[in-house]
Amino acid sequence: MIKLSTGNLDVDVSDCPGWKVADLVGHVGQVFAMVDAIVIPRSQVRIGPGIEAKPVDGQGVLDWFTLRSESVLHSLENVDPTEALWTWSDRQDAGFYFRRMANEVAVHVCDLQRALSRPVAMDRSLACDGIDELYIDMLANWARRNGREFPRGSLHLHCTDGEGEWLIVPTEDQVVVTHEHAKGDVAWRGSAVSLILSAWGRTETGIEVFGDANISDQWLNFAP
């Protein structure tokens, strides 16, 4: 992320409206600080980060980001993934943060690549895991906390660059996710990276959409 951002801090990030690259770098560093605030004291309740979460202005944001990334790596290296911790998901253990940080950075690196008109690249196994994380571990908790109602139809995701299928069926307060070839009210077909970017609300990812276009738009706009 540092390499892509260097010399490009003033570039607009179209996937994050209103942000420039400096804002994106600042956001990811703030997330690292949020994780440190929970992991370091082994907190069982939500704790907000302190002054360390405030990004530095100008070029200094890159050095600040480096400090934040080194800190969170150290924090995670020194915690057992099975240890119970507060998280913003239905999974309440330190392992959530290992997975979340990998997927957080991977998606935002794609945002940078797209902003800079670079080829979009993400390890497809990480992309598939990120889809599982979003729909299985995170979405229901996020919807409850924000008073959001689920889209009114089911979504089927189908990878075109290898194995990977998901049927996402919303109920009153959760989503039921199965890995199967089944018909949904709408289907998205594309590479694993295209599917995870669409799942996180990115547009023009190259997916093919089949079925109810309105339900497709509801899912596209439902990302946290």
pLDDT digits (tens, 9 = 90+) for 163-202: 999 999 999 888 999 999 999 999 999 999 999 999 999 9
Same domain, 22 and 86: yes
What's the number of domains the chain is made of?
2
**Within a domain: 120:** no
The pLDDT > 90 percentage for the chain reads 92
Nearest C-alpha neighbor of 104 from the set 88, 93, 119, 83: 88
Neighbour-count burial of 26, counting CB atoms closer than 10 A to its CB (0-12 exposed, 13-18 middle, 19+ buried): buried
pLDDT for the residue numbered 90: 86
pLDDT digits (tens, 9 = 90+) for 71-125: 999 999 999 999 999 999 989 999 999 999 999 999 999 999 999 999 999 999 9
CA dihedral (194, 207, 181, 155) in degrees, to 10, reads: 90
**Within a domain: 46:** yes
Q: Is the pLDDT assigned to residue 220 strictly greater than 90?
A: yes
pLDDT for the residue numbered 172: 84
Same domain, 152 and 68: no
Same domain, 29 and 76: yes
Query: What domain range includes position 109?
Result: 2-115
Where helices occur in the chain by DSSP H, the ranges are 2-5, 21-39, 60-77, 95-115, 124-132, 139-146, 192-199, 213-220
Averaged over 39-58, what is the pLDDT?
93
DSSP letters for 159-221? ESSSS-EEEEEE-SS-EEEE-S----SEEEEE-HHHHHHHHTT------EEEE-HHHHHHHHT
Same domain, 17 and 95: yes
Burial 176-212 (b: 16+ CB within 10 A, else e): ebeeeeeebbbbbbbbbbbbbbbbbebeebebebebb
Same domain, 105 and 9: yes
Averaged over 136-164, what is the pLDDT?
94
**Within a domain: 177:** yes
**Within a domain: 186:** yes
Averaged over 12-39, what is the pLDDT?
97
Same domain, 84 and 170: no
Same domain, 87 and 142: no
Same domain, 188 and 105: no
pLDDT for the residue numbered 173: 84
Same domain, 108 and 148: no
**CATH number where 179 lies:** 3.30.1050.10
The pLDDT > 70 percentage for the chain reads 100
pTM for this entry: 0.93
In sequence order, what are the residues at sequence separation of 6 or more whose Cβ sits closer than 8 angstroms to the Cβ of residue 7? none
Show which of 52, 85, 115 is a domain's final residue: 115
Same domain, 86 and 9: yes
Same domain, 130 and 111: no
Same domain, 67 and 164: no
Instruction: Provide the 3-class DSSP secondary structure of residue 118.
Output: coil
**Within a domain: 93:** yes
